[in-house]
Structure 1
Amino acid sequence: MANKKRRTELDIDPSILSETEAEASSENGDPAAVAPAVEKESEAKEKSTEGGVKKIKINKAKLALIAAGGMGAVSLAAAIVWGIMASPPEKTEEPEKAKVEKVVEKEEPVAVAPKIEFNIPPIFVFKPFLVNLGKGDNRRLVRVNFSAQMSGDKVNEEIKRNLVLIRENIYYFLQSKSIDMFRVEEKKKRMAVDMAIVLNRSIQSGAITKVLVSGLVIK
């Protein structure tokens, strides 16, 4: 039995015995036994507080770094936005419109003919004259158509007023001519001049400038 006790005592871990002794001494109020335990506990608390302080310091440093990083990111984002807003919008290149070349035809200068004013004098057209020329077998009936070119409208009015007298004077003039005066071209031209002279004798407001023989028929 003594051997068994000894074996059991020897088999017990001395650390366990010390812990039990300490607990027993603490329960009994032994200050020598309590002091080491209190010191250990205070050291553990100090270490835990130091670790907590270190953790707090580390957390504060991390928070400061995170805040600084966040502020930097915000500043960078604000700078980018400001740069985008401040920079003028890029001009989008529009497709070039097809250039339509207008073919301009050169207009050649048109020569404008100068206006020629024709001052056509008034003309009085007489009714045809029937004149018997010659005697016997040489007797011929001549029909004469002519017109008179006048110097103005007043002559036209005067001829109308004195038409009967003027026609008688022309009739006697034509009747006094020979048949050859109406056949030969040169004599016909001379007769036209003489007729203008006869007409001017009966006119006071102007003059007959020319006599135009338009028809001559000999029967």
Structure 2
Amino acid sequence: MVVVVKQIETKMAPIFASSPILKDLITKVGGGDLTTNATILSAFFVLLPLLLMAFAVTQANRWSADEEDGRLELVLSTPQPRLRVLLGRFAALTTATVIIGVLTLAVTALASAATGLKLDGGNLAAATLGMIPLGLLLAAIGYLLSGWLRTAVDTGLLSFLLVIWFFISFIGPELNWSDAALRLSAFYYYGTPLLHGLPLLDMLGVLAVSIVALVLASVRFVRKDIGR
């Protein structure tokens, strides 16, 4: 992504200059002045949380499928608490999500150094690691919904929610939606960390909602008859 931004810097400048709509879109999504590489890269960075959240959907789908098909019965037939089983799976998902974030940080930092693209180290860390809570939020919601919905419906709703959030955050501003409406999207709380740093309070709020969803999912799983 860094290499792409560096390569298109001069080629895309005339296009941005001749297209006010495209220029305005990149400026709003990127969160800064279009004349800076960081703004263009920041606009591209909005795709990273989307991809990570899509990964979270697939992991929530696996848990829901295992629960629905009764495969968890084999695990629960051993003497271990249900809560430990659920938290163990979610911990594995969290570990994978963190690893993806850290690898993204390392690769982006190396690429920016190799191409001579100057980026603020703290903001880069915020942009790559700040997407982790968003992935965990969607995964926790998926774990919660799996208790009441079939796997296909659960996955469909999570995917639909992701699309709605994306639409609200990146199409809503062009439609002059109110700030209250934009706050309905999880992407709103991610902001533009590559330019402005991580909105810490917003991310703590996202984590708090994730924890609440996971707690409710845990209570539901402990009480549910698996395979029914």
For the criterion TM > 0.5, the same-fold answer is no
Which has more strand, going by share of residues? Answer: 1
TM-score, with structure 2 as normaliser = 0.22
Q: Which has the higher contact order (CA 8 A, sep 6+)?
A: 2
TM-score, with structure 1 as normaliser = 0.23
Which has more radius of gyration? 1
